[in-house]
Amino acid sequence: MVPKIIMSVVFYIFLSIQLHTSMAQTNWIRAGFYMYNQYEFPISEINFALFTHIICEYAAVNSTSYQLSLSPADEQHFPEFTHTIKQNNPSVATMLSIHINGDATYSTMVSTSSNRKSFIDSSIKIARRYGFEGLDFSWQFPATSIDMFNMGILFKEWKAAIDLEATDSSRSALILTAKVYNTPKIYSTSYPIESIQQHLDWVHFFVDYIKNDISWDRHTSTEASLYNPYDFDNADCGIREWIDGGLSANKMVLTLPFYGFAWRLENPMDNGIGAPAKVQLNLCGELLDKGNNLVLLQ
Ligand SMILES: *[C@@H]1O[C@H](CO)[C@@H](O)[C@H](O)[C@H]1NC(C)=O
């Protein structure tokens, strides 16, 4: 895990330029992630004027019940998060990100309707209980066509459950978003674009897509470049693929990582992007603190 980066690893700029609306009328989404475990940046010091949505990272999922699994710390932090934000700026929407890292729980969760129902019902209940106005789904990464297909069903059922709950409770429907890879095609399969288009409010991209390049740690690079002369894995190519696949631009939020990696150059004179270098790890084998910028070390 990356140590202590100041709040907001990422924030987003909505790409939406809707037909028939001018730029002035466009509602840009400016969302930021806030992670309790890593950042020692008090919520009350967030400059709320910068954001339309703040997403709390994250709730985990129980690998047998498929319900959200909150630690005692989560139970303390989540209400503090939503309460502080609403008190400081009621117009900023609060969302809860749900994620699992690197195991098969999501594959099994999405694979049956009863598992999906446990997950969905629990997510809505937890969101309401702690005062969140939306849910963000983060699966890093669905690997098979079956996972992708089932994820499409999950989104459909999730949205239906959210709408039903909103009607029953006479409240605004929870916002539903997901983090996706920066291109729709991964591991020879593709995200369920049609379901995303129909059922999600928007998607945003995982950052660090340089890591898709197997030699990423051996030459200086950028985290998530808009254009990249060295590689097709960049935001521009990815967004085009999503649009070609049928996702509207107004369902996409561009992700900007607010950090960089530290590198040790092989030759100090050769210090541009793509220069031979080693990414720096700390004693625990973690990526060295990156501060706010890409740091080039000699
Ligand atoms: C996960 O859910 C199961 C079944 O409800 C429960 O027995 C178990 O304690 C839960 N695990 C955690 C870590 O909460």
Q: Which residues line ligand 1 (CB under 6 A)?
A: 62, 64-65, 69
CA of 115 to the centre of ligand 1 (A): 14
Which mutation among 61, 65, 67, 121 tests ligand 1's pocket best, with the greatest number of atoms within 8 A of CB? 65
pLDDT of residue 286: 54
Q: What mean pLDDT is predicted for residues 45-58?
A: 92
Measure 174 CA to ligand 1 centroid, in angstroms: 26
**Is residue 186 scored above 80 in pLDDT?**
yes
**Residue 46 lies in domain:** 9-258
Q: Whose CA is nearest to atom 13 of ligand 1?
A: 62
- For residue 34, the CA-to-ligand 1 centroid distance in Å is 26
Q: Are residues 242 and 183 in the same domain?
A: yes
Which pLDDT tens digit goes with each residue over 123-140? Answer: 999 999 999 999 999 998
Q: Are residues 143 and 279 in the same domain?
A: no
Tokens of 115: 């598992």
Q: Could you please report the per-residue DSSP string of 61-100?
A: E-TTT-SEE--HHHHHHHHHHHHHHHHH-TTSEEEEEEEE
Whether residues 251 and 273 fall in one domain: no
Q: Which atom of ligand 1 is nearest to the CA of 62?
A: 1
User: Are 273 and 294 in the same domain?
Assistant: yes
| Mean pLDDT of the residues in the chain | 83
Residue 4: inside a domain = no
- Report residue 127 CA to chain centroid gap: 17
Q: How far is CA 289 from CA 257, 272, 293, in A?
A: 14, 20, 10
Prior bond to 58 cis, omega within 30?
yes
Q: Do 117 and 248 belong to one domain?
A: yes
Read off the pLDDT band of 23 (50, 70, 90): very low
Which residue's CA is the closest to the ligand 1 atom numbered 4?
65
Please compute the mean of the pLDDT values over residues 160-180 and round it to a whole number.
Answer: 97
256 CA → ligand 1 middle, Å: 36
The per-residue pLDDT for 39 is 54
Residue 2 inside a domain? The answer is no
The CA-to-CA distance between both ends of the chain, in Å, stands at 24
Q: How confident is the model at residue 15 (pLDDT cuts 50, 70, 90)?
A: very low
Q: Domain containing 157 — which CATH number?
A: 3.20.20.80
What would the pLDDT profile of 138-151 be if each residue is shown by its tens digit?
A: 998 898 999 999 99
Asked whether the predicted pLDDT for residue 82 surpasses 80, the reply is yes
Per-residue pLDDT, averaged over 80-92, amounts to 94
Percent of the chain with pLDDT over 70: 80
How far, in Å, from the CA of 112 to the mean position of ligand 1? 19
Q: Is residue 112 part of a domain?
A: yes
Name the pTM for this structure: 0.84
> How big is the CA angle at 128 (ends 124 and 129), to the nearest 5 degrees?
115
Task: Say if residue 50's pLDDT is above 60.
Answer: yes
Instruction: Quick: pLDDT tens for 226-275.
Output: 887 666 678 888 899 999 999 999 999 988 877 777 888 999 999 988 89
